[in-house]
Amino acid sequence: MTEQDGNDVELEDLKGVGAKTAEKLTDAGYDDLMSIATMSSGDLGELADLGEKKSQKIITAARQELDLGFETGKDKYETQKEMRKITTGSPDFDEMLGGGVETQSITEFYGEYGSAKTQLSHQLSVNVQRPEEEGGLERGVVFIDTEDTFTPLRIEQMAEEAGLDVDEALDNIHVARAYNSDHQMLLADEAQDICQQEDIGLIVVDSLTAQFRADYVGRGELAPRQQKLNRHMNTLLRLANSHNAAVVVTNQVMSNPDQMFGDPTKAIGGHIVAHNSAVRVYLRKGKKDKRVGRLVDSPYMPEGETIFRITDGGIVDAT
pLDDT number for residue 259: 54
What's the Cα-to-Cα distance from 128 to each of 104, 120, 309, rounded to whole Å?
14, 12, 20
Q: Which domains does the chain have, with CATH numbers?
A: 2-66 (1.10.150.20), 82-317 (3.40.50.300)
Question: Which residue type does 153 have?
Answer: L
Classified as helix, coil or strand, 1 is coil
Q: Name the amino acid, one letter, at 313.
A: G
Interatomic CA distance for residues 142 and 236, integer angstroms: 11
Cα–Cα distance for residue pair 304/28, rounded to 1 Å: 41
Structure confidence at residue 252 as a pLDDT band (50, 70, 90):
very high
Q: What does pLDDT average to over the chain?
A: 89
Kindly compute the dihedral angle of the four CA atoms of residues 40, 44, 50, 52, in this order, to the nearest 10 degrees: 0
CB-CB contact of 280 with 208 (8 Å): no
Q: What is the pLDDT of residue 6?
A: 32
For residues 10 and 21, give the distance between their C-alpha atoms in angstroms, rounded to a whole number: 12
* Percentage of the chain modeled with pLDDT above 90: 63
Provide the whole-model pTM.
0.80
Residue 132 CB neighbours (<10 A): 12
The string of DSSP letters for 78-104 reads: HHHTT--EE--S-HHHHHHHTSSEESS
